[in-house]
Copies of this chain bind each other. A is one copy, B any other.
Amino acid sequence: MSGISEVARRAGVSKSTASRALGSTGYVSEDTRERVARAAAELGYVPSTSAVSLATGRTKNIGVVMPYLNRWFFAEVLEGIQEALLEHGLDLTLYDANPGSEGRARIFDDYLARKRFDGLIAVGLEPDHRELERLVAIGRPMVSVVGSGETTSLVAIDEEDAARRATEHLLALGHERIAFLGGRPDQHWAQVDRRRLGGYTSAMEDAGLGAGIRHIHSDVTLPGGYAAAVNVLGDLRERPTAIVATCDEVAIGAIIAARRLGVQVPSALSVIGIDDHEYAEMFSLTTLKQDPRAQGRAAVDLVLAHLQDPHRPHSILRQRATMVVRSSTAPLAPDRSAAVTDARA
């Protein structure tokens, strides 16, 4: 996270003006306030807050709602939130809102309405229309991690951009038969996977490969990626030369599937993911790295900022994923059929 000086420099104002513009007191023109807010958002700057004084007389408790606890991204975000709350002397109340579960309905109908928290962090929640109404009715500051940022402050990576750059990396290596692996268009199709598919699609179209766009459906888990890849890689005529996976767990599943089938990665198949999962290094996976722990910490900073200033406008902190090139991606082999034969020898 950047400091106030960098925000001031970017907005072209003095440090004290930037401070005033971001605080709730002191006069600055609307134009300046907007300019500073934009600079702060671009730099990912969040004003530091003293949670202890903030929380006096409140519940000293922040609620966290997330659909899964046992997936890497969610566990990492939760660790980041927990670390930051501890530093501020605040408790964390956890609500596990599994999509479609009875428990989820109960959380929205009963638990959240009790308002036993000062603010709420929703991680990858993707509320439906009715759920969103309930959330708004609570009237507590709320920050989303992953999401659209339409109704709340948001911390996320630019999903489309990450998948687009993953695809462009493979295009630059000479690949054309590039498939997108992960997610399926049903009621639980996460918006995040949709956005990543969108990034892949636009990169393919821009490269004149619109006719070759291919979405291989799978559960967004390591075994899900494995099962789908076994199916696809077993078919020699249909096999892509490269895969953009919707996340590293799916990508690693695909790599394990390729190894089982004797398809050499990367000489016969390139695979790229999004995340930089804790297993990525071990599988030499090229990926677009994000830092979910830092996103959790930033969400805490934001929710505290909203508590300090209830009139604070929403912020969108959308960070850019960083490309990490390892050895799961390589230039398209000059004679691909030879590479395949090699692998099966």
Q: Does A78 contact B (CB under 8 A)?
A: yes
Interface flag for A238 (CB, 8 Å):
no
Which residues from chain B contact A278 at a C-beta distance below 8 Å? Answer: 70, 221, 223
> How does the 8 Å CB contact mask read for A90-112 relative to B, with 1 for contact and 0 for none?
01111110000001001100110
A339 within 8 A of B: no
CA of A253 to CA of B116, assembled, Å: 42
Interface presence of A133 (CB below 8 A): no
Tell me, rounded to whole Å, the shortest Cβ–Cβ distance linking A340 to chain B: 19
Task: Mark out the residues of chain A between 46 and 92 whose CB falls within 8 Å of any chain B CB in the assembled complex.
Answer: 61, 69-70, 72, 75-76, 78-79, 82-83, 86, 89, 91-92
8 Å CB interface, A200-228 against B: 221-223, 226
Q: Across the interface, do B279 and A223 meet the contact criterion of CB distance under 8 Å?
A: yes
A281 within 8 Å of B (CB atoms)? yes
- In contact, B75 and A103 (Cβ under 8 angstroms): no
Given contacts A70-B75, A103-B86, contact A93 B96 (CB under 8 A): no
Shortest distance from the beta carbon of A267 to any chain B beta carbon, whole Å: 16
Which of chain B's residues have a CB closer than 8 A to the CB of A69?
69, 75, 78-79, 82
Query: Distance (Å) between the CB of A20 and the closest chain B CB?
Result: 34
Contacting residues, chain B, for A223 (C-beta < 8 A): 278-279, 281-282
A259 within 8 A of B: yes
Q: 1/0 per residue A266-309: CB within 8 Å of B?
A: 00000000000011011000000000000000000000000000
CA distance A278 to B278 in the complex (A): 17
Q: Is the CB of B70 within 8 A of A76?
A: yes
Chain B residues whose C-beta falls within 8 Å of the C-beta of A82 in the assembled complex: 69, 94-96, 103
- CB pair B116–A89 under 8 Å, yes or no, is no
* Chain A facing B: main interface SS: helix
User: Which B residues lie within 8 Å of A78 (CB)?
Assistant: 69, 94, 96
**Bound CA–CA A223/B282 (angstroms):** 6
Residues of B within 8 A of A79 (CB): 69-70, 96
Q: Mark A223-260, 1 if CB is under 8 A from B, else 0.
A: 10010000000000000000000000000010010010
> Are A86 and B107 in contact, CB atoms less than 8 angstroms apart?
yes
Task: Contacts A107-B86, A279-B222 given; indicate if A92 touches B91 (C-beta within 8 A).
Answer: no
Alpha-carbon distance between A259 and B255 when the two chains are bound, in angstroms: 12
Q: Which residues of B contact A75 (CB under 8 A)?
A: 69-70, 75
Residues of B within 8 A of A89 (CB): 110
**Which of A86, A221, A259, A278 has most chain B Cβ within 10 Å?**
A86
Let me know if A106 and B86 touch, CB within 8 A: yes
Query: What are 26 residue pairs bridging A and B, where the CB atoms are less than 8 Å apart in the complex?
Result: A69-B78, A69-B79, A69-B82, A70-B75, A70-B79, A78-B94, A78-B96, A79-B96, A82-B95, A82-B96, A82-B103, A83-B96, A83-B103, A86-B96, A86-B103, A86-B111, A89-B110, A91-B116, A93-B93, A221-B278, A222-B279, A222-B282, A223-B278, A223-B279, A226-B282, A256-B282
- 10 new A-B contacts at CB < 8 Å, known A69-B69, A91-B93, A93-B93: A61-B116, A69-B78, A78-B94, A78-B96, A82-B94, A82-B103, A83-B103, A86-B106, A92-B94, A223-B279
